[in-house]
Amino acid sequence: MLEIRDLTVRYGGILALDKISITVPKEETVILVGANGAGKSSLINAIIGMVPTAGGSMTFEGVDLAKVAPSMRAGHGIGYSPEGRRVFPTMTVRDNVLAGASRIGRAAQADVYDKLATLFPMLRDKSDDLAGYLSGGQQQMVAIARAMSASPKLLLLDEPFLGLAPVWIQQISDAIRQFSKSGVTVLMTEQMAVPALKVATRGYVMRGGAILREGPVAELRSAALAEEYL
Amino acid sequence: MVEIVSAGLIGLSLGAQYALLALGFTLIFGIIGVVNFAHGGFYLLGGYVAYACVSMAGLPYPVAVLAAALATAALGYLFELLLLERVIDDHLSTLILTLGFSLVITTGIVLVFGPDAPLFQFPVQGVVRFLGIIVPLANIIVFAICFAAIGVAYALIYRTNFGRSLRALSEDRAVAEALGIRARLMFPLAFALATGLAGMTGALVTPILSLTPHAGEPVLAASFLVVILGGLGSLGGATLAAFLVGMIEAYAAVYLGGSKGALMLFVLVLIVLLVRPTGLYGRTARGA
């Protein structure tokens, strides 16, 4: 579904991604793990179009993403939940979530919201609350629901567990499994490798803007690897 | 007592006019991150378009107001799309461009209509008397229309997909774009909405006050005062501040006299900014 070949990203003179290649097969949940500064978020930001690429290619369902403007990538079926949540703080929870579903009618929006609220019940309880006043875990749910409101084919989750208590991590992990069951392909980044590897099927270990290792999560979960990289 | 109520009603009328102007001004700042120095120019242009429609084309005044709103909205749309968009991420360039465009509007009006104030009167004359209070009918009509327009603007911004998308862009442009909201499509529309409101206000207010090629300058100053007091980028703050400024102006005019009233306003703004540097409901702008 998503093919990335020899992708390079630079911030001025700093090399953030050094000719990395990854494949995200359809309906799989792929995890990018690595320490802070490994290049995980740079990769997600390159896919979504937030940072320019300095080389390589990205193909989504046969479409060259270099030829698709960042604001048009959602229309091609790519949903995005950013690192640090980045909810719209002075907008209500409902408006936050439906900001990703502006292209569909009101009735369809109501259906989408109801469906997401079955996964995240707080969306129903706090629909009129301002997102800026929610807890970190609740904001993360809003950010993920916002990304899912346009019914994407590929969901990009950048550090969805960052700074969250175990109870929130469990709820979000359950939701990711549900998305996967319903046919959504997921590419997520995470520093907290242990819970992340529980929801993924394949993984890549990153360090210094390069891929160190890749494979099924069972391999990546091995104790030696965890000790060395995670 | 009659004096107090009369001044209050005039203050409400002034407040509604300022609110309509300031809504557009703060909308552009909050969403696009641009301080629009041409806002007074669009107000002025609205007044002259309405004047031309009534005096030269012989159209009814309500049609002229609508034409003024549409013409200034269309010009604002094209200005943002063709000129402002090219320098949108450079605050200094947007400042110079909008200031320059304001001068172009003023000079163009002088070239077409001449430097003197044309005779442009509100079509409805007369006053309403109630318990000894006398209020010009024109002020009541303008207040009602401005108040309704504010309601429509709020509904548009807070009750529609369009408004939600604008607010999302205002909060975090990069994330909003990643969600599929197209800034390049929305920014000209937001600009058109703001300049259309300014043009409509000009068409409504200049027949009551005055229509001269320099009528836009005090309007720009008033818009600045209102949005700084309310908090740059805040719609609610701008509306509240507009009515506050309107009331203070009206009461100061009655009880203190012209220049002291203006002084009082600036003192109030200074006090508010000392206590709350971002204004009553302010926040910081989108980064360049």
Q: Contact A91/B168, CB-based, under 8 Å?
A: yes
B174 and A74 within 8 Å at the Cβ level: the answer is no
| Count of domains for chain A | 1
Residues of A with CB under 8 A from a CB of B: 48-50, 69-75, 80, 82, 86, 88-91, 95, 98-100, 102-103, 146-147, 150
Please give the full DSSP string across B131-150, using - where no structure is assigned.
TTEEEEHHHHHHHHHHHHHH
Compute the distance between CA of residue A32 and CA of residue A41 in angstroms, rounded to an integer: 9
Q: From start to end of chain A, where are the E strands?
A: 2-11, 14-24, 29-33, 55-60, 63-64, 78-81, 154-158, 185-190, 202-207, 210-216
Tell me whether residues A103 and B180 touch, CB distance under 8 A. yes
What does the pLDDT read at residue B162? Answer: 92
Confidence of residue B248 (pLDDT cuts 50, 70, 90): confident
Chain B residue numbers with beta carbons less than 8 Å from the beta carbon of A147 are: 179
Nearest to B180 among A71, A95, A98 (CB): A71
**Would you call B178 and A70 a contact, using CB atoms and an 8 Å cutoff?**
yes
* Residue spans of beta strands (DSSP E) within A120-209: 154-158, 185-190, 202-207
For chain B, the residues whose C-beta falls within 8 A of a C-beta of chain A are: 161, 164-165, 167-168, 171-172, 174-184, 283
| Both structure tokens of B38 | 């041409």
**Residue B23 reports pLDDT greater than 90:** no
Q: Which residue of B has its CA nearest to A70?
A: B178
Q: B68 by DSSP, 3-state: which?
A: helix
CB contact under 8 A, B167 and A82: no
Contacts of A50 in chain B (CB under 8 A): 174, 178
* Closest among A32, A34, A55 to A186, alpha carbons compared: A32
Contact B164 A74 (CB under 8 A): no
Q: How far is B219 from chain A (nearest CA, A)?
A: 29
For residue B232, give how far its alpha carbon lies from the nearest alpha carbon of chain A (Å): 15
Mutate to test the interface with A, among B164, B170, B185, B189 (most CBs of A within 10 A): B164
- Dihedral sign from CA coordinates of A10, A15, A19, A20: negative
Torsion from C-alpha of B261, B264, B270, B274, nearest 10 degrees: -150
Query: Total structural domains in chain B?
Result: 1
* Minimal C-alpha gap between A98 and chain B (Å): 8
Question: How far does the CA of residue B173 sit from the closest CA of chain A (Å)?
Answer: 10
Successive 10-residue mean pLDDT values, chain A, 230 residues: 92 88 92 87 92 92 91 92 92 94 88 93 93 92 94 93 88 92 92 81 89 85 56
Domain-located, residue B280: no
Nearest CA-CA distance, residue A133 and chain B, Å = 15
- Nearest beta carbon to residue B180 from set A74, A86, A90: A74
Average pLDDT over residues B76-95: 92
Domain annotation covers residue B261: yes
Asked if the model's pLDDT at residue B149 lies above 50, the reply is yes
Domain of residue A98 covers 2-229
Yes or no: say if A158 and A189 are a contact pair by the CB < 8 Å rule.
yes
pLDDT digits (tens, 9 = 90+) for A33-87: 888 888 889 999 999 999 999 999 999 999 999 999 988 999 999 999 999 899 9
Question: Rounded mean pLDDT of B26-50?
Answer: 91
Backbone angles phi, psi at B160, to 5 degrees: -130, 160
What is the CATH classification number for the domain harbouring A100? 3.40.50.300
**For range B19-40, the mean pLDDT:** 88
- Structural domain of B30: 2-275
CA atoms lying within 13 Å on the CB side of residue B28: 34
Q: What does pLDDT average to over chain B?
A: 88
d(CA A128, CA A147) in angstroms, rounded, equals 19
Global pTM?
0.86
Cβ of B167 and A70 within 8 Å?
no
Q: How many CB pairs under 8 A join A and B?
A: 66
With respect to residue B25, please indicate whether it lies within any of the assigned structural domains. yes
Tokens in use for B246?
């309107």
Is B281 part of a structural domain of the chain?
Answer: no
Distance from CA of B37 to the nearest CA of A (A): 27
Residue B135 pLDDT > 70: yes
- Say if the Cβ atoms of A73 and B178 lie within 8 Å: yes
